[in-house]
Amino acid sequence: MINDENNYKIILYIHFNVVSLLGKQNIKHIVMGFFSWKTQDTSKSIANHYSRRKTFGVWLLDDKGNKWFEPNYEGYGMFGGKDFYVLLAEMNGFYENQDVDPDMEYGRLRDEGIRLAFSGKKFKSPNLVQHIQEWEYKEDEPKSCEYQGYFY
């Protein structure tokens, strides 16, 4: 059975083996699998629940006023049941095709969102904030967390 302690050990094993293979100075060029950002209202790193940092509630917002709340972020881009990159794709004109397998379509939309996020092109982005009552949607994208919400 996999539990949080086993996940933590697996992540550390991968991290330390990558560091030993490539050297510490090259580790920033590796994408490990966690996605994380800094909240746009407080600039706090959104830690995932596998890290040693305490998590906090985060709101995901789109440009139409929709909101999703995540009390305990897991590190994979999902906030309150809504995937950050799927929402990014939807906000930029990519829509779900109802005639295909939902799992395949979710993957396609997520891939489109990730591709767009790292394309260098201008795009509409979801917002990530800690305090929803003090926030209005902004056209700016949230800054990435250099620690991927885990490697503090």
Please report the pLDDT score of residue 12 as a whole number. 46
Burial class (CB in 10 A: 0-12, 13-18, 19+), 131: exposed
DSSP per-residue string spanning 51-78: SSSPP--EEEE-TTS-EEEESS--SSSE
Residue 22 CA, chain-centre distance (Å), reads 25
Q: Please give the average pLDDT of every successive group of 10 residues along the chain, which has 152 residues.
A: 47 46 46 83 95 95 97 95 96 81 84 93 97 94 90 84
The runs of H, that is alpha helices, within 23-138 are: 84-91, 102-117
Is 0.95 topped by the overall pTM?
A: no
Please report the pLDDT score of residue 149 as a whole number. 87
